[in-house]
Structure 1
Amino acid sequence: MSRTRLFFLTLLAMIAFAGNSLLCRLALKHTSIDPANFTNIRIISGALALGLIIRMRDGAHSVAGNWPSALALFIYAAGFSYAYLSLSAATGALILFGTVQATMIGYGLWTGERLGTRQSAGLICAFSGLAALLLPGLSTPSLPGSLLMLSAGVAWGVYSLRGKGAGDPIHVSAGNFLRAASLAEALSVVTLPSGSLDRSGFWYAVFSGALASGVGYAIWYTALRGLTAAIAAVVQLSVPILTAAGGIIFLDEAITLRLMIASTAILGGMALVIIDNKPAKC
């Protein structure tokens, strides 16, 4: 794969990931769709898009995946949607991706990896930034929204860890999306009395599931073939920045000094941990 193609595939994937936050926030802020219906439509659309990609690529209908991963995917998607009832696009993306990286790093430590001095300093810096973002104050993001996005980040971290070495990632993702669709449908049924849906919200959810999730993941898995693990982790830290830019342009969101400082600490600290990625086993 040429460097130019690799660059554009990676950029498209990061834009797609940022697009998930922007589309969800747009839908919940400017349409009447509720989080449960958004989650349901998003997951179903993602499953259909991934199934179509498999059909076009391999000429086959078979999918893989498993229920524990599907459950993690559902918890991520539902927590993500409900969190964006009260969080700005930029704040939600920062909490999400910071938590995903922290979950995966924490798993590495639990399984015996050890951090060097610079990695430890980076981890402390990142957690300090997250704490500063969530401490009480005039510009503190919603606590329920923050907790929901933290749970979504942990779930996505678990989903990512379970996906390592699980087989063809697109086949696995398609199967997980298909299984998670039944859970999302159950959520929609349970919340039916308070549910709502309109045409604009429906299409935002479809675009989030089919394009930003299904096609976005397929592009990302293609790009991953040319990226090292450390670089792949670092480039994902660009998503909150892209989301913040999109929030300013499309949602008229303001970037506070608190968010800027927290972003610098969280993303800078995580980058230091990942770039200096030479852990030693016990």
Structure 2
Amino acid sequence: MRLILLTSVVLVAFASNSILNRLAVGPGHIDPYTFALIRAFAGAVFLAALVLARRRVLPLLTRSRIAGAGSLTLYLVGFSVAYVDIDAGLGALILFGGVQVTMFAGGVIEGERPPLRRWIGAALALIGLAWLGWPSGAAALPLVATAAMLAAALGWGIYSLAGRAASDPMAETGANFIWSVPLLVAVYLLFPVEMDVAGANLFGIVLAIVAGAITSGLGYALWYGVLPQLGASTAALLQLLVPVIAAVGGVLLLGEVVSWRMVGAGALTLGGIAYGLGVFQRKLRSNTS
């Protein structure tokens, strides 16, 4: 029950990141690059303070920082850039669809053999997500934003795979965020982009701080805490819940409209995840025992 509760909190935090990022950069309250940098800095400061308050050590110079901080930086940049032109629900669909492929592939390469039921459930969930987020009519997905979100998906998939070996989730997450700050600065210096720190308003800055410290910092620390108990394929499948949560959040917080397609796609996605995780089999066994 504790694992279920913590995983649920993490998934809500992931969906909140999509909503906060879209709410900040979509209307232009802050540019995506400044948002990513403030988000990383806020997460680094908040988590470092918590780790040091517990008299723990931040593992800043371990080999795992290369994969952890590097993949986190790739995710942060791609995520922010994509949400300039993509709605919260659709962005989460592209992100976690890509994460699903990355983590399934990573798990298989490392020797994990997901059962057929999990492959079928993942396929059903992906079909539901495609139905939920695919533009209707002649609308086309923005090319740059889509490519940026796929890059973010690759980064987050690698970050999640690396997190399964975390011995101190909060300290490792804090170290990743600390290293991501100079990495982001280096990226911006090597590849000049239009940062407009002076043009960011207070609302955009506050959203970036909340996304960095709470829904990212604490959310990712909790994620690193539950990952060792899940396995790559299960973790990938569970993250397909995020676009559904983000779509509901879009309705409640961003004024998006509920449609029958959303209801049907959400049901198909949830059903696929439940089947892939064996929920129906366990319920059948409990009823017959």
- Report the TM-score range of the alignment, normalised by the length of the smaller protein: 0.7 to 0.9
- Structure 2 gaps of 5+ residues are 280-289
TM normalised by structure 2 equals 0.78
Q: Does 1:159 align with 2:159?
A: yes
Q: 1:157 deviation in Å?
A: 0.5
Report the equivalent of 1:203. 206
Q: 1:17 deviation in Å?
A: 1.6
CA RMSD across the alignment: 3.2
Report the equivalent of 1:172. 172
Distance in 2, Cα, partners of 1:231 & 1:115: 8
Aligned positions of 1:3-22 closer than 5 A: 3=1, 8-22=5-19
Q: 1:6 deviation in Å?
A: 5.3
Q: Cα 1:262–1:79, aligned 2, differ >3 Å: closer, same or farther?
A: farther
Q: 1:67 deviation in Å?
A: 2.3
Distance in 1, Cα, partners of 2:273 & 2:148: 21
Query: Is the Cα–Cα contact under 8 Å of residues 69 and 179 in structure 2 kept in the other structure?
Result: yes
Distance in 2, Cα, partners of 1:180 & 1:221: 17
Report the equivalent of 1:191. 193
TM normalised by structure 1 equals 0.80
Report the equivalent of 1:249. 252
Report the equivalent of 2:77. 78
Query: Is the Cα–Cα contact under 8 Å of residues 46 and 209 in structure 1 kept in the other structure?
Result: yes
Distance in 1, Cα, partners of 2:149 & 2:260: 21
Distance in 2, Cα, partners of 1:178 & 1:257: 44
Q: Per-residue displacement from partner, 1:178-206 (whole Å, max 9, x unpaired)?
A: 11111222344522466642221111111
- Structure 1 gaps of 5+ residues are 277-282
For 1:244, what is the secondary structure of its paired residue?
Answer: helix
Percent identical: 36
Q: Cα 1:241–1:94, aligned 2, differ >3 Å: closer, same or farther?
A: same
Amino acid at match of 2:92: A
Q: Per-residue displacement from partner, 1:97-127 (whole Å, max 9, x unpaired)?
A: 2221221112223345445443443344455
Distance in 1, Cα, partners of 2:174 & 2:259: 38
Q: Does 1:26 align with 2:23?
A: yes
Moved more, 255-264 or 112-121: 255-264
Report the equivalent of 1:279. none
For 1:66, what is the secondary structure of its paired residue?
Answer: helix
Q: Does 1:91 align with 2:90?
A: yes
Q: Per-residue displacement from partner, 1:229-272 (whole Å, max 9, x unpaired)?
A: 47655543332222112111211123556666655555654554
Q: 1:41 deviation in Å?
A: 0.6
The alignment covers a number of residue pairs equal to 272
